[in-house]
Structure 1
Amino acid sequence: MGISLKWMSKVASFGGIGVASGIAGLQQARSSIPNPPEEPTYLDLAIWIVSFGDPLALLAAVVAAIGTGLSLYQVLAQSPYTSDQGESDRAHQNASFGTLDQRNTERSAHIIEAIKRDKHEQVLADLIAGKADQKLLQRYERALNLERFDGHELSKRQAGEIALVADVAEESGDPVGRRIAELIDAGAIVEAAKLKAEQAAKSLGYERRRTAREFKDAGYLALPFNPSEAVKYFMKAADLDPEDVWSRIEQSRILSLHGELDRSENLLQQASKVALQEYDQMGLANERGQLAMLQGQHGQAKQLFAVGLRLAEKRLEDRPSNDACQQDLAISYSKIATACLGLGDLDNAELLFRSCVEIDRSLFEKHSRIGELARPLSVGLMMIGDVQLQRAILLYQSKDESAAKKRQGKRENR
C-alpha cells in the first residue's frame, strides 16, 4: 500500500513532537531526581512519581509519553486516506466534470438553436420584403394564393415559411426532398407534409433532436390546411425532444381552438419547465395569456402579457436594430391593450395601442412602405378608433342615463 504525502506529513509532524517531548521530558526528569541510580527500575520510577518531588518534571514526562504514543499510533495505525478512498474521490470528480460538460453541451445547443432562429427570421423578413432570388420569390407568390382550411388567405409569414421549406427541400439533393418541393409547388401541401413526416419516421434511430425538427417542420407545413394532421406531427416532435417548447405551444393553440382548454393548459405547463431561452419564455407567456383571455380571465391575462412585454423589451435592448424584436414588442403592447379593453380600462388600452402603432409606423416607413407591414399598422389604428368609439358610447350612455333621471325626477315632482 503506497504512502501519500499527506500521510507522511502527519507522521513527521507527530513524530517530531513526540521525539522532542520525549527528549525534553527525559532530561528534565533525570535532573530532578537527587542521586539517580545507575540503572533505574520500575520500582524507582513508581517511588519518584508517588513522591511528587518535582511536578514540572512529572508533567514533562507525561507529555513525553503522550507524544511518543501518538507517534507510534501514526506509524502503526492504518492510513486515514486509503487507495479505495482515492479511487472514490477520482470517480466523484470525473462524474462532476461529466455533468459540467453535459450542461455546457446543452447550453451550446440552445445558443446554436437561437442563432439559427434569428437567421431564419431574418431570411423570412427579407423574403417578405422582396429581397430574395427570383425562384424563391415565385414560390412565395404561389403560396400567397393558397387557401387555409377555414377559407381565409394565408398570412405572408405562413406563405414565406412554405416557400422556404420547399427551397431547402429542393437544395438538399435528396430525391425525397425534391419530391417534397414538387408537391409544395403544385399546391399539395398536406401531401408534402405527410411525405416529410414519413421521411422523419425512417430516421428515428438517428439523432433524435434532428428528427424532432423534421416532424415539427411537417407540422408547420400542414398547420394552415389540416390542423388535426399537424397536431400529430407536433406531438411526435415533442415526444422526441423533451426541450421542444414550440411544438407544445402549437399543440396548445390547436387544442384551445377546439375547446380543449385543460389539455391546452397542461401542454403549456409542460413547456414552461423547459423554456430556457428568452424568446421561448416570451412566446409561452403570451400564449398562456391568450388562453386566459379565452377563459375570460382578463386580469390574469394582463399579468401574463406583462411578463411577455418585459422579455420583449429585454430582447430589444440586446438587439436594438433587429426588426423582429421590434415587432415582438409591438405585439406585446397590443396584447396588453386588448386585456385592458376586457377590463374596461380604456385609457391604458389607448396608450398601449398608440405605442404599438408608433413601432409599426416606424417599421413601415423604414422598409419603404411594404404592404406586409401596413397590415399591423392599420389594425393598430383601427383598435385606437375602436377604443375611442367605446369611450364615446359610454359617455353617451352616461349622459342619456343622466337625462333620463332628470326626466324621471320632473315627472315625480308633478
Structure 2
Amino acid sequence: MKQMFYLDKFNYFQQSGKQVIYNFKYNQMKRQRFDLLEVNKNSQIEILGFLYVNQSVVLGQYINILPLKYLSILHSKSEQFHVDFSELDQTNLTLITLWIQNYNIKAQTKLENFQALQNLILESTDFKDFSVLKNLKLSYLQIKDNRMSFRDKRTICQLTSLYQLHLDNCGFREVHLLQDLTQLRELTLKNNSLVNSDFMACEFRLLQKLDVSYNLLKSLDYLTALSPCLVELNASHNKIGKLFYSDEHDVINVEILNLSYNKLFDINQLTRFTNLKELNLQSNKLGEKRVKVLKQLQIQSLNLTSIQCRTLNCLNTKSVTKVIMDSYIQNFNSFNIFSCQNLHKMNIYSAEIPNQKLEQLNIVKQSTEIISKGNYYGHEYFGNKKLSKFIQLLIFGAIQYQL
C-alpha cells in the first residue's frame, strides 16, 4: 500500500529560477491527497520538506526520482520515529543539505553515500555512527541534543573541510579535540558544560564567530590567542566575574560582544576591545560607577538592561546609535539627548521620563518616528509629529507626563 501525503503548504521560490518547496504532512484524515510516488523524474522539485510525519519513513524510493538538493524531516513530538535511507539509488544522489529533527536514523543508513552533501543538521536524532561522516566533504555541520562518545568527538575533529561547526548540548568539555580544525570560520559550543577558557589557546586562525553561551566559564582568558579574525563572541549565560585574570594586555578585535547574564563585577578591561561596536551587558549588577568605562569606547549599540544603572551619563554620545535600558534610570533630566548626534533607536523599559524631557524630544531634529509600546498616551503624544531622520523611542511602562 502506498503511503499518502496531503499537500500541507506550497511555496514557489524564484531563487535560481526553478526551486520549488513542497511540505508534506502525513495524516489519515480525509483531506486533499497528494501521492509523492506520482512525482516523475522530470519534476523540478529541488527542496522537499516533511513536516510532522507521524510514522517511520523510508525515503530511498522517494529521493531517487527527484533531483533533490535540500531535504528536511522534522517532528515536534516527544516520541521518535525512524528514518531509513536503505533503498537509495547511489547513481542519483544530488542532495546538498539534509536536516533531520526528532527522528532516529537507522543503524544501517549509509550517509556516506551522499557524496554531494555539504550541509548536515542532526537535532535530537540519537545518531550513533559518526565515523560515516569522514567520507563526506561537509562544510556545515550542526548537531544538537546528541550525546557523543570520545570516539565520536575524535571523528568530528577529522572533518577538515568544515567551515561552520555547531555542537549544542553534545557533552563537549575538552575543546582541544577540535584544535586541528584550523579552517573553521564559525564555531558554536553552547550548552556543553565548559568550565575553563584555556580552550581559547587553540589557534583557530580564521575563526570569525564563536558562541560559548550557556556554559560555566569564569573568564575570557586566552581570548587573544584564539583568532585575530574573531568578529563576534557570545559568552552570555556563564559565570564570568571578571573578563581577564591573566596579565595580558593585547588588543582584541571583536566587534560584537554578548556578556549578558553573567556575574560581572569589573568591566574596565573592555578598553582592550578597541573595535567594539555592539555590547550587551544585560543582567550584570554592575552599578553606576563600574560602567563609566563605557564612555571611553566607540560603542554604537549598547544594552544595559537590569544592571542597576541610574543615569545615561555613561554613554559615548558621539558614537552611540542604539541604546536599550530600563526602569533603573531615574535621572533622565541629567542626560542631554541632543548630544547623541547619531542616535537612531532608544528602548527605555518602565522609565519615569519627566514631562519637560518629552517636550524636548518633540523637537529633536534627527527624529522622524517615535513609537511607544505599552503606553497609548505616548503614541498619541508623538504620533503626529513630522521630523527629519529616523529614530525610534520605545517607552514601556509608566511615563510621567500629561497631554
Do they fold alike, i.e. is TM over 0.5?
no
What is the TM-score when the length of structure 2 is the normalising length?
A: 0.28
The structure in which a higher percent of residues are helix is: 1
Which structure would you say has the larger Rg? 1
Which protein, 1 or 2, shows the higher relative CO under an 8 Å CA cutoff with sep ≥ 6?
Answer: 1
